[in-house]
Amino acid sequence: MASSLKNLSEYNPKTIPSASSMRFGIVVSEWNDDITSPMLIGAVDTLLVHGAKRENIFIAHVPGSFELVAGAKLLMKQHSPDSIICLGSVIRGDTPHFDYVCMGATNGIAALNANYDVPFIFGLLTTDNKEQALERCGGKYGNKGIECAITAIKMVALKQQ
């Protein structure tokens, strides 16, 4: 569903399992950090609201969105979290670089999900311009980091069933 049709931050808290016994990894891109930092804050705050312990949230920063895959894999090996949230932002420019970064990160995160028994959550904003990205990191369409944290909790709960 397009984020313009649903606020990324809206959810029913009554439907979210407790995260008190869960461990989470978050890998976040430093590129476009004015976008990814609010996403990171949204994800961490949401995990904490739902019972996750701060000492069970492991954060790794990577240079760009293309490096999210390698960072997620390293985070998984170092901390064995129950789920890993991948947060990044790629904004279309004048060259095909956007397409290659988006494709590489998307395919890489999909491959991690296919090859490992850990949910890797796709939190990569792929927007045409900076305004669209700002609208999705705490602006009028909510915060993708919050949505990813909720998805991570639900996926861990599904795995634990």
Instruction: Give per-residue pLDDT as tens, 27-65.
Output: 999 999 999 999 999 999 999 999 999 999 999 999 999
For 83, the 3-state DSSP assignment is: strand
- In tens, the pLDDT along 77-102 reads 999 999 999 999 999 988 888 999 99
Secondary structure of 97-129 in HEC code, one letter for each residue:
HHHHHHHHHHHHHHHHHHHCCCCEEEEEEEECC
What pLDDT was estimated at residue 93?
85
Nearest to 45 by CA among 139, 140, 148: 148
Choose, from 50, 61, 79, 97, the residue flagged as catalytic: 97
Instruction: Tell me the average pLDDT across 107-123.
Output: 97
Superfamily (CATH H level) for 32-160: Lumazine/riboflavin synthase (3.40.50.960)
- Please confirm, yes or no, whether 50 is among the known catalytic residues: no
| Rounded distance between C-alpha atoms, residue 152 and residue 150, angstroms | 5
What pLDDT was estimated at residue 3?
58
Give 47's Cβ-side CA count (13 Å radius).
31
